[in-house]
């Protein structure tokens, strides 16, 4: 007679599970596809809830179809009720109703870590978040986050200010970004493309850490924000403290960008190379 109580359950898995809640990128460089690649490449197990389907490639976004709200809710219940999800990364959320249901489910299931990439604008410049949904994002979801990861246009949109064009202007945003209610903010300086380095500010409640990396000259930067936020969630799920998780994730995305030109994908802004470490010569 079998002893079913001795059978291992997914709760005891040694591989940390990370959930990505985001839109699908049919071109494979950003969104859910980039998230799953980044989470896998950094050593965690990825599961997903798709909030929208985009018709998208390296040249831009031609259509967005939000997933019906009831099905978003069913996806969330399906993964949370079965999988031991340690960290959640949230990306594209299209409209206010989807933001509200995601916030409600985060409150219901209480994952240990919540990373929010407030996706509003694609690398190509296409608008990915309805303007009316920004206030819902700020009131319902951002205060639940362990860390949010806006780029400079997104950070400006969240506080209703101008896009900064210097590191001094980035620093001037700190107080208002703290008031959004997240435990930490990673303000990404990648858009300051005249600077030799790519400098980010990790804004904590009582201090600011400056993270720097050499700027890499490539047009293949599609999906960088998705990839970075997913890597942060992955490292948090593995037990790293916040500063360590962010530092490791920045090192990972820097390498993925550095090796992006080894790929030849599409005619526009190509993807980063998520699996760069697997392409190195052995021996």
Rounded Cα gap, residues 271 and 266, in angstroms: 9
Catalytic site residue 224? Answer: yes
Which of 27, 225, 227, 250 is an active site residue? 225
Catalytic site residue 283? Answer: no
Catalytic site residue 189? Answer: no
Catalytic site residue 28? Answer: no
Catalytic site residue 225? Answer: yes
Catalytic site residue 123? Answer: no
Which of 28, 89, 100, 226 is an active site residue? 226
- Record the tokens describing residue 29, joined without a space: 């460089």
Which of 149, 188, 227, 250 is an active site residue? 188
Which of 51, 58, 123, 224 is an active site residue? 224
Catalytic residues: 188, 221, 223-226
């Amino acid at each position: 007679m079998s002893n079913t109580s001795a059978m291992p359950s997914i709760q005891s898995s040694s591989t940390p599970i990370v959930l990505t809640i985001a839109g699908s990128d049919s071109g494979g460089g950003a969104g859910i596809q980039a998230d799953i690649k980044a989470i896998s490449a950094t050593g965690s197990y990825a599961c997903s809830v798709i909030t929208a389907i985009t018709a998208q490639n390296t040249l831009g976004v031609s259509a967005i179809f939000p997933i019906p709200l009831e099905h978003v809710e069913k996806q969330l219940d399906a993964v949370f009720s079965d999988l031991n999800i340690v960290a959640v990364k949230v990306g594209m959320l299209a409209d206010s109703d989807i933001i509200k249901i995601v916030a409600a489910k985060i409150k219901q299931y209480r994952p240990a870590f919540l990373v929010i990439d407030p996706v509003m604008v694609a690398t190509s410049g296409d608008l990915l978040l309805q303007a009316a949904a920004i206030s819902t994002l700020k009131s319902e979801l951002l205060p639940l986050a362990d860390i949010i990861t806006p780029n400079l246009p997104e950070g400006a949109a969240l506080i209703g200010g101008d896009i900064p064009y210097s590191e001094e202007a980035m620093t001037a945003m700190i107080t208002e970004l703290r008031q959004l209610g997240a435990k930490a903010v990673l303000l990404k300086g990648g858009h300051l493309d005249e600077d030799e380095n790519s400098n980010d500010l990790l804004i904590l409640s009582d201090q600011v850490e400056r993270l720097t990396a050499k700027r890499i000259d490539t047009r293949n930067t599609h999906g960088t924000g998705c990839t970075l936020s997913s890597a942060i969630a992955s490292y948090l799920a593995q037990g790293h403290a916040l500063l360590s998780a962010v530092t490791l994730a920045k090192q990972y995305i820097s390498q993925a960008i550095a090796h992006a030109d080894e790929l030849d994908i599409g005619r526009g802004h190509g993807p980063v190379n998520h699996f760069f470490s697997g392409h190195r010569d052995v021996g």
